[in-house]
Amino acid sequence: MGTNGNIASYSSTAGAAADRFVVDYGTSTTPYSGTSYSAPRVAGYAAIIKQKYPNATGEQIAAAILNTAVLKPGWDPVIYGKGQVDLTAALSSAGGLK
């Protein structure tokens, strides 16, 4: 996503993969956006969860990320999928995976 909170015009949208698609964006100090920027960020979040909960499976980690993403009012799931990643909530959700 761009810093304006909208999907960048050159980015992928959820489409048929809406049930397994999340979005993320950088801070106001990072001018980067788009799929090529958010995909490694989400992979990094998965690595953080795995480090904290080493017994968690990939499926459990993905579920923690997907099930805690925030679909903001007015966001179409066909575009934004499950919504914006919330790492804090995903870590909390994964807490039961010890």
- Write out pLDDT tens, residues 56-80: 999 999 999 999 999 989 989 998 8
DSSP H stretches of helix in 1-98: 35-52, 58-68, 77-80, 87-94
Determine the pLDDT at residue 88.
Answer: 92
Are 14 and 79 in contact, with CB atoms under 8 Å apart?
yes
- Write out pLDDT tens, residues 15-66: 888 888 888 876 556 666 677 778 888 999 999 999 999 999 999 999 999 9
Q: Residue 50, exposed/middle/buried by CB under 10 A (0-12, 13-18, 19+)? A: middle
Determine the pLDDT at residue 6.
Answer: 72
3-state secondary structure of 38: helix
pTM of the model: 0.82
Q: What angle do CA 78, 50, 72 make, to 5 degrees?
A: 25
